[in-house]
Structure 1
Amino acid sequence: TLEEALVWAKGKAPLTVDIKRSVPFEKVIETVRKTESEAYAALISYTFPAAKKLHMLAPDLMLSVTIRNENEIKRLEETDIPWDRVIAFTGVTERSKEFNQALHLKGVFTILGVIGNLDRRAEARGDEIYASFIQNGADILATDRPIEAAQIIKNLSPSKSSKSPYFTHVN
């Protein structure tokens, strides 16, 4: 259950919590609060109206919001959600170093979804590609290959790697 996952993760791993369409936001927020998981559970929103509603219901919680381009940066700013409540999911295609830097200048960590094509590319061409994602500005990798990605990333020097923690995606 979500409650069991939140309890298990306490002190071990920060989580992004994927809220399924049939589940009311309020119920997820209630479970996060009940388990005292506010400090390590970021709620995933797939639309700006959903992000705005989640922020209205729980302004103290972190949100994972899809931000893949300049237009989406502007759309997020129109919601009045403060940047310090946002982790940017930059999609499943690698973004430019400049785009990631623009988000970093706002104080935002970025999540690159390497699940799918990018994981398959790493498997086919070599896991070293995970290092290039981090060096290009991805702070967090959402991957189906966490062990392989972690082995490569842990060998990066501090000046070339992200300062962010690893996040685990919980469906």
Structure 2
Amino acid sequence: MRHFHRPCSPWILLCTCVFGTLALTGCQGTQSETAGQAVASPAAEHYRAFQRADRLAAYLRSSPNPLVSAHRGGPDAGFPENALQTFGHALTQGPVLLEIDVRMTKDSVLVLMHDDTLARTTTGRGAVQAQTLKEIRSVQLVTNTGTPTRFEVPTLSEALAWAEGRAVLQLDIKEHVPRSRVAAALQRQDALDQALVITYTLEDAEWYHQRLPDLVLSASAETREDASALVQRIDPSRLLGWVGIGEVADGPAEVFSENRVPIAVGTFGETDRQARNQGLIVYHRLFDQGVDVVSTNEPALASQAAATYAP
């Protein structure tokens, strides 16, 4: 399988430079918090900002290098998953996309939380949907090793505001979150140039596409037929095709590639473990198979692999 967009043209390189310049000039003086202290951000060189949704779509389709998505926002030592401070830390490691998880509180506020309960990722207890935002704000996020931090659970609105001029968010919408609320949040904050929605069914993808035709959708396909249905009913320029975890499902990948849809694979789990032991070659092998985006728990390592990849 061959990448449909590499090697890139001089025009694409120029556009990439322009986008990077826009991001840098539009974000001077920003700060990120690490270990509870505000410090000048060292991540500005990795910021990505787009003026319109079609420019975001073009970036995903035509990046000169493979792209890296930080799974759950890129948790690391001292940085919990789905936290604004973690996002800033992840951007010091590369120009990563930020995959985040969205749930809804008892009082219908969209917040960032992977699990349906607070126990694993915060100092609190109980179901997310049984808590008000005020109650959720009373707890602190904890790291993957269980260490409490001073960071609080952010709302989706806060995450979108944080990402403006900095990064692209991939929204993994969890159970019992109405699609209409997600769409309304994206419209209210004019965020189609900085966010895409992860969908798991053709029905969900069609719902979003009919209402927000400019929105980029990450859509899963397990078979060639699944992928064919997606490219027939969704504008391919607004698709990112998810084809598996750890390996490439050839049938869907071929359909997506034929229709100029970038291909994404998850490496969290065994593939990331192999990369820690064997090095960048593990990600390079996926790039050789035509993978354009890897969603990973090792954004620093994967970013090195993307930056050094030579097809």
- Residue 166 (structure 1) aligns with: none
Q: Secondary structure at the match of 1:71?
A: helix
- Residue 119 (structure 1) aligns with: 272
Superposition deviation, residue 101 in structure 1: 5.0
Contact 1:92 1:115 in 2 (8 A): yes
Q: Following the alignment from structure 1 to structure 2, what is the Cα–Cα distance between the partners of residues 137 and 148?
A: 19
Paired residue type of 1:54: Y
Superposition deviation, residue 147 in structure 1: 0.5
Q: Which runs of 5+ in 2 are unaligned?
A: 1-154
TM-score w.r.t. length of structure 2: 0.47
Q: Are 2:298 and 1:145 aligned?
A: yes
Paired residue type of 1:14: V
- Residue 103 (structure 1) aligns with: 256
Superposition deviation, residue 33 in structure 1: 1.7
- Residue 193 (structure 2) aligns with: 39
- Residue 88 (structure 1) aligns with: 241
Contact 2:243 2:252 in 1 (8 A): no
Paired residue type of 2:211: L
Say which is worse superposed, 48-57 or 91-100, in terms of deviation: 91-100
Contact 1:65 1:86 in 2 (8 A): yes
Q: Following the alignment from structure 2 to structure 1, what is the Cα–Cα distance between the partners of residues 169 and 292?
A: 14
Q: Following the alignment from structure 1 to structure 2, what is the Cα–Cα distance between the partners of residues 19 and 121?
A: 29
Q: Are 2:156 and 1:2 aligned?
A: yes
Q: Following the alignment from structure 1 to structure 2, what is the Cα–Cα distance between the partners of residues 68 and 117?
A: 20
Q: Following the alignment from structure 1 to structure 2, what is the Cα–Cα distance between the partners of residues 21 and 58?
A: 21
Encode CA deviations 1:83-120: one digit per residue, 9 max, x unaligned. 12211011213216786454223121111111122112
- Residue 74 (structure 1) aligns with: 228
Q: Are 2:49 and 1:49 aligned?
A: no
Encode CA deviations 1:108-149: one digit per residue, 9 max, x unaligned. 111111112211221233232112212221111100100111
Superposition deviation, residue 66 in structure 1: 0.2
Q: Following the alignment from structure 1 to structure 2, what is the Cα–Cα distance between the partners of residues 49 and 96?
A: 21
Please identify the structure whose Cα radius of gyration is greater.
Answer: 2
Paired residue type of 2:203: P
Superposition deviation, residue 3 in structure 1: 1.4
Contact 2:227 2:255 in 1 (8 A): no
Matches within 5 A, 1:50-65: 50-65=204-219
Count of aligned pairs between the two proteins = 157
The alignment-based identity, stated in percent, is 29
Q: Are 2:166 and 1:12 aligned?
A: yes
Superposition deviation, residue 61 in structure 1: 0.8
Encode CA deviations 1:24-57: one digit per residue, 9 max, x unaligned. 1111111112222101211111111111112222
Encode CA deviations 1:49-82: one digit per residue, 9 max, x unaligned. 111112222222111100233121233245x222
Kindly report the root-mean-square deviation, in angstroms, between the aligned alpha carbons of the 2 structures.
Answer: 2.0
- Residue 27 (structure 1) aligns with: 181
Runs of 4+ in 1 over 4 A off after TM superposition: 96-99
Paired residue type of 1:114: T
Q: Following the alignment from structure 2 to structure 1, what is the Cα–Cα distance between the partners of residues 250 and 229?
A: 21
